[in-house]
Chains A and B, each alone.
Chain A
Amino acid sequence: MSDTQLLKVDNLSKSFGGVRALHHVSFDLKPGELLGVIGPNGSGKTTLVNLITRFVKPTSGTVWFKGKKISHLPPYKIVRLGVARTFQMVKPFYNLPAFKNMIISLYSPRMKQLAGGRYGDRDAVALDLLEEVGFERDAHVAYKLAGALPQGYLKRLELAKAIALEPDLFILDELFSGLSLAEVASIVPIIEKMRIAGKAIIMIEHRLKELFRIADRVIVMNYGEKIADGTSKDVMESEAVKSAYLGTEAD
């Protein structure tokens, strides 16, 4: 693989029993690129994320990251190399305050690997990071139990946990779903900031309008296969996509 690629996914497949969740999917990603992934429900988007991060073992296929094969590594090692993901179904520690949720990410061995990693008071760093993603400091939202927070804040918490790891690649699985337009609008600048910092991002989204506006490139999934790959404009005009996806969604 060439130096210009950050991530290379080659012929990745996964079957659950008889269900073909993902079928020979290949693509690459350049550093700093924002790749959108769209597709109808059950088309294999989350499975794709799970395979790249190795939370699920691929049936076949390979993944390279920064020129290194990662598809045989355990998930925690992939995170340490610089891939951070958020979960579609948020996974906070419900009986801890929001800022304490951050501590575990800040405890990550990745922190120690990074040159000039964030040391010192983890509580303070956690509060700073949460403020960055929109936990208003004056309102003391960060001190509330995660279990008492509305969905919008839980999604931001997921994002803050990923940012804490200072990854080179973010994989955001439906970060916007379940959020109001205003909430989405407030998160978009955070993502733009990540891009300015040179981070590559893979965004799984159902919110096409918002995604097409910020994505460099979009791939379209249907029944576990990649059916289109191109700029937002190309993809929107592609016939295969219209019939597979846009026709079925009233978005």
Chain B
Amino acid sequence: MKKRKERIDRGIKVRSTDIFALSSWREMIYLALPRLLPIVGCLMLPIVLGVYWQKVLLSVAVFALLAISWDILAQTGMVSLGQALFFGVGAYCAGVLNHYWGVSPFITIPVAAIAGGLICTLFLLPVLRLRGIYFSMVTLIIPIMLVRIIEATKIFGGTEGLSGMTPLPSKWVEIYLIMGVLLTVLFCFRRMLDSDYGLVLKGISDNDRSVINAGINIYWFKVQSLFIAGSIGAFSGAFMTHVYMFVGMPVFVLDYSILPIAAAVVGGPGTLAGATLGAFLLVPMSEALRGFGGLRIVLYGVFLVVFIVALPEGIFHYIQRKYHQFERWVEVEK
């Protein structure tokens, strides 16, 4: 007898999508839990963690933002291999403003986010028409080129970098600033992707000719998506400049490009929440593996492969499905 797994929406999901949502505590909690959990988690974690893991949390948030930025681009059909470009450009923008003109971090960070987004958009504008791997290659190459340019021309402190940046007032400001931004970015842009505007962005990655055929200028939408993703990435770079009180060539290293992709893929692309979840898993794991010395990367790689093979849809999609649906085996009639 052949059997097939059948998935059915839980009664509570069906009920809570319409008017009955507010009729019982159980259903209100069911609806609110997926939103409350990350908010409460992000706000409580800094308090319960020790100094060392607080630093790790900063790193988690930065990679989560880079992964969200990657995911937004990927949703618009642009697979970036160069999140380091966004991160690095933002970092240098903030660094230069603070180092040469002494601008306060509370101004350099937002300015670097916007200016960084614009600069990255301008960098990639000429290749916006390239599809697939050609676009990806260019995003991979630009940060590498920028490093060489800084090295050769010795601008912005050359190989030494710029140090002595103004730090943020306290570590609590640091951590709650980045947590607040992460939550805001996560919820706002999730909402954006669910809107009709987001549908157009996703349409471009699905089937760009169909979108053009609606009289929509897809390049203009790609520019907007690039600017949003660039700004998010640049924000995280600018933030780290003030955390490290230093900016230099390491901001363009490959880690900032690769780890966000791994986070988005492991967490489940397309939802932004998956990308965030991925960062919350991979970054601490990478820290915890430090004790293994040279074997760290091997173990890390093994974990990645296990995740991707076991849950190819991504962790977030898996959890979401379990939350909203139950499964049962049904017999398939011949």
Q: Which residues of the other chain, A, contact B214 by a CB distance below 8 angstroms? A: 79, 104-105, 107-108, 110, 161, 165
Contacts A55-B209, A91-B207, A91-B209; A108 near B216 (Cβ below 8 A): yes
Contacts A79-B215, A107-B216, A108-B216; A93 near B210 (Cβ below 8 A): yes
A57 to chain B, nearest CB (A): 14
B311 to chain A, nearest CB (A): 19
B interface, by DSSP: helix, strand, loop or mixed?
Answer: helix
How many chain B residues touch A (Cβ–Cβ < 8 Å)? 18
B307 to chain A, nearest CB (A): 23
Q: Which residues of the other chain, A, contact B213 by a CB distance below 8 angstroms? A: 53, 75, 79, 84-85, 87, 91, 161
Q: Is the CB of B217 within 8 A of A96?
A: no
CA–CA, A207 and B330, complex, Å: 44
Q: Is the CB of A107 within 8 A of B218?
A: no
CA–CA, A84 and B200, complex, Å: 18
Within 8 A of B (CB), among A50-68: 53, 55
CA–CA, A110 and B210, complex, Å: 15
Q: Is the CB of B215 within 8 A of A108?
A: yes
Q: Confirm or deny: B196 has a beta carbon within 8 angstroms of a beta carbon on chain A.
A: yes
Closest to B203 in A: A104
Instruction: Output the residue of A79, A92, A93 with the most chain B CB within 10 A.
Output: A93
A61 to chain B, nearest CB (A): 21
Q: Confirm or deny: A95 has a beta carbon within 8 angstroms of a beta carbon on chain B.
A: yes
Q: Which residues of the other chain, B, contact A87 by a CB distance below 8 angstroms? A: 209-210, 213
A246 to chain B, nearest CB (A): 32
Q: Which residues of the other chain, A, contact B197 by a CB distance below 8 angstroms? A: 107
Q: Confirm or deny: B9 has a beta carbon within 8 angstroms of a beta carbon on chain A.
A: no
A180 to chain B, nearest CB (A): 25
Within 8 A of B (CB), among A92-145: 92-96, 100, 103-110, 122
Q: Which residues of the other chain, A, contact B137 by a CB distance below 8 angstroms? A: none
B297 to chain A, nearest CB (A): 35
Q: Confirm or deny: B29 has a beta carbon within 8 angstroms of a beta carbon on chain A.
A: no
Q: Is the CB of A104 within 8 A of B209?
A: no
Q: Is the CB of B210 within 8 A of A80?
A: no
Q: Is the CB of A109 within 8 A of B215?
A: yes
CA–CA, A87 and B210, complex, Å: 9
A89 to chain B, nearest CB (A): 10
Closest to A91 in B: B210
CA–CA, A233 and B302, complex, Å: 72
A145 to chain B, nearest CB (A): 13
Within 8 A of A (CB), among B212-268: 212-218
B268 to chain A, nearest CB (A): 14
Q: Is the CB of B199 within 8 A of A76?
A: no
- Per-position 1/0 for A15-58, Cβ under 8 A of B: 00000000000000000000000000000000000000101000
Q: Confirm or deny: B206 has a beta carbon within 8 angstroms of a beta carbon on chain A.
A: yes
Q: Which residues of the other chain, A, contact B150 by a CB distance below 8 angstroms? A: none
- Per-position 1/0 for B186-204, Cβ under 8 A of A: 0000000000110110110
Q: Which residues of the other chain, B, contact A107 by a CB distance below 8 angstroms? A: 196-197, 199-200, 214, 216
Q: Is the CB of B200 within 8 A of A104?
A: yes
Instruction: Output the residue of B196, B197, B218 with the most chain A CB within 10 A.
Output: B196
B152 to chain A, nearest CB (A): 39
Contacts A91-B207, A93-B206; A165 near B200 (Cβ below 8 A): no
Closest to B209 in A: A91
Closest to A83 in B: B215
B223 to chain A, nearest CB (A): 14
Q: Which residues of the other chain, B, contact A96 by a CB distance below 8 angstroms? A: 199, 206
Q: Is the CB of B196 within 8 A of A76?
A: no
Residues of B within 8 A of A (CB): 196-197, 199-200, 202-203, 206-207, 209-218
Residues of A within 8 A of B (CB): 53, 55, 74-77, 79-80, 84-85, 87, 91-96, 100, 103-110, 122, 161, 165
21 inter-chain pairs at a CB distance below 8 angstroms, sorted by A residue, are A74-B217, A75-B212, A76-B215, A76-B216, A76-B217, A76-B218, A80-B215, A87-B209, A87-B210, A91-B210, A92-B210, A94-B206, A95-B206, A104-B200, A104-B210, A104-B214, A105-B214, A107-B199, A108-B215, A108-B216, A109-B216
Given contacts A91-B207, A105-B214, A107-B196, 10 further A-B contacts (CB under 8 A): A53-B213, A55-B209, A76-B216, A84-B213, A85-B213, A103-B199, A104-B203, A107-B216, A109-B217, A161-B213
